[in-house]
């Protein structure tokens, strides 16, 4: 029997602005797209040690967990982003909104991660 690989939350991570896909409309961003760009949750997933190949063209943590379950991949991401209803949606709304300037977007993402006791910084 194959042992399940469980990924858990990390305490801190960094978002690289040069690879950060944001502000292009709701549900446009992916955890990782084919141009190697990520939404804020993609950066977080990689910080949680999820291999980038597992993130390509995935919309959010729910879809990733469902993909693993449906395909018997014996993997699970036990994250506060999945276990708290609406939290991942809040991140996606902030990340993808066309109506937020980047400085304000960064502050909102930092504050939202702080509510989960996760520290995030931006660079690049």
The 10s digit of each residue's pLDDT in 15-25 is 999 999 999 98
For 34, residues 6+ apart whose C-beta sits below 8 A from its C-beta are: 56, 57
H or E stretch covering 6: strand 5-8
Residue 46 and residue 54 in contact, taking contact as beta carbons nearer than 8 Å: no
What's the pLDDT band for 86 if we cut at 50, 70, 90? confident
**Diameter of the chain by CA atoms?**
50
Residue 29 and residue 95 in contact, taking contact as beta carbons nearer than 8 Å: yes
Residue 76's DSSP bridge partners are: 6
Read off the pLDDT of residues 25-58 as tens digits, 9 standing for 90 and up: 876 889 999 999 999 999 999 999 999 999 999 9
- The 3-state DSSP class for residue 94 equals helix
């Amino acid at each position: 029997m194959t042992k399940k690989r469980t990924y858990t939350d990390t305490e801190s991570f960094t978002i690289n602005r040069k690879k950060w896909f944001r502000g292009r409309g709701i549900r446009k961003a992916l955890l990782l797209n084919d141009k190697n760009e990520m939404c804020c949750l993609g950066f977080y997933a990689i910080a949680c040690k999820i291999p980038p190949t597992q993130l390509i063209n995935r919309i959010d943590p729910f879809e990733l967990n469902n993909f693993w379950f449906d395909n018997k991949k014996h993997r699970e991401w036990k994250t506060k982003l999945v276990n708290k209803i609406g939290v991942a949606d809040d991140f996606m709304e902030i990340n993808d909104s066309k109506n937020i300037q980047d400085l304000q977007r960064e502050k909102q993402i930092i504050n939202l991660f702080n509510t989960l006791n996760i520290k995030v910084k931006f660079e690049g």
